[in-house]
């Protein structure tokens, strides 16, 4: 067990949170000996369409999903901020709070990493955090089309989980995880079709969704809720 406390960060829309997110966080934490994983629900996402449910509901669902895991922590900074929430800004704020020496590990699925070159100040993110990329069904790292991202990936990749404890930032490490072909999009489709979404997310999250009538209609439903 390394002596440093590397901190994992899992940003997402979590619209809703599901077992794909939770296994991703758990398996990357175990593989890299992370001391904590911060779940950071996004406010207004800069890279995609507006979420279907309000920030308040998405935060509440994350809280319910992670409450029994001492390794997992909810961080509400992005939903409390007005305007777009860029990962670069969130990492810079965490870096300022936690100090230059703190190893930070940004966790993402391969689908997110293959589009990483479209993120705000993506090159500068390597100076703020390591990146752990987990395999996700349907998204292969071979699908990186952007040459600059491919180069950055090849230069920074490591197979050694110790590397994220030796430096505060800068490595890219692939972490094989249990492949769970679960997405929030598919879950919303089930709920809109009045079909069961059991066994795809923690029961408390599904109860919350049912109690608040979330995801029953199409896009932008419940947005004010």
Residues that bind ligand ATP (CB under 6 A): 12-15, 20-21, 24, 108-109, 111-112, 134, 136, 180, 182-185
Report residue 131: phi and psi, to 5°. Answer: -125, 125
Q: Do residues 2 and 161 make contact, with C-beta atoms less than 8 angstroms apart?
A: no
Cβ-based nearer residue to ligand ATP, 20 or 103? 20
**Residue 59 beta carbon to ligand ATP: minimum distance, rounded to whole angstroms:** 13
**Residue 173 beta carbon to ligand ATP: minimum distance, rounded to whole angstroms:** 15
Cβ-based nearer residue to ligand ATP, 4 or 74? 74
Helix (H) or strand (E) holding 74: strand 72-74
Cβ-based nearer residue to ligand ATP, 6 or 62? 62
Cβ-based nearer residue to ligand ATP, 1 or 140? 140
Q: How far apart are CA 210 and CA 63, in angstroms?
A: 16
**Residue 179 beta carbon to ligand ATP: minimum distance, rounded to whole angstroms:** 7
Cβ-based nearer residue to ligand ATP, 166 or 180? 180
**Residue 1 beta carbon to ligand ATP: minimum distance, rounded to whole angstroms:** 25
- Looking only at Cα atoms, what is the longest distance across the chain? 49
* 34: CB partners within 8 A, 6+ apart: 6, 7, 8, 28, 71, 105
Cβ-based nearer residue to ligand ATP, 21 or 38? 21
CA angle 142, 146, 151 (to 5 degrees): 80
Q: How far apart are CA 157 and CA 174, in angstroms?
A: 8
**Residue 114 beta carbon to ligand ATP: minimum distance, rounded to whole angstroms:** 10
**Residue 220 beta carbon to ligand ATP: minimum distance, rounded to whole angstroms:** 14
Closest CA to 177 of 126, 112, 113, 108: 108
């Amino acid at each position: 067990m390394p002596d440093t406390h590397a901190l994992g960060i899992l940003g997402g829309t979590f619209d809703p949170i599901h077992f794909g997110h939770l296994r991703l966080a758990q398996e990357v934490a175990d593989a890299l000996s992370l001391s904590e994983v911060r779940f950071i629900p996004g406010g207004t996402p800069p890279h995609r369409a507006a979420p279907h449910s309000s920030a308040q509901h998405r935060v509440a669902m994350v809280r319910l999903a992670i409450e029994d895991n001492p390794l997992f922590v909810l961080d509400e900074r992005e939903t409390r901020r007005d305007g777009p929430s860029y990962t670069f800004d969130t990492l810079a704020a965490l870096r300022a709070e936690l100090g230059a020496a703190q190893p930070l590990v940004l966790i993402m699925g391969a689908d997110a990493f293959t589009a990483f070159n479209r993120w705000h100040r993506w090159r500068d993110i390597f100076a703020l955090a390591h990146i752990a990329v987990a395999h996700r069904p349907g998204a292969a790292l071979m699908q990186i089309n952007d040459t600059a991202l491919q180069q950055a990936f090849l230069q920074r990749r490591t197979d050694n989980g110790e590397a994220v404890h030796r430096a505060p930032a800068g490595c890219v490490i692939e972490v094989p995880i249990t492949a769970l072909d679960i997405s929030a999009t598919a879950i919303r489709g089930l709920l809109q079709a009045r079909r069961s979404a059991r066994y795809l997310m923690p029961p408390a999250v599904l109860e919350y969704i049912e109690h608040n009538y979330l995801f029953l209609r199409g896009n932008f439903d419940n947005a004010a809720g």
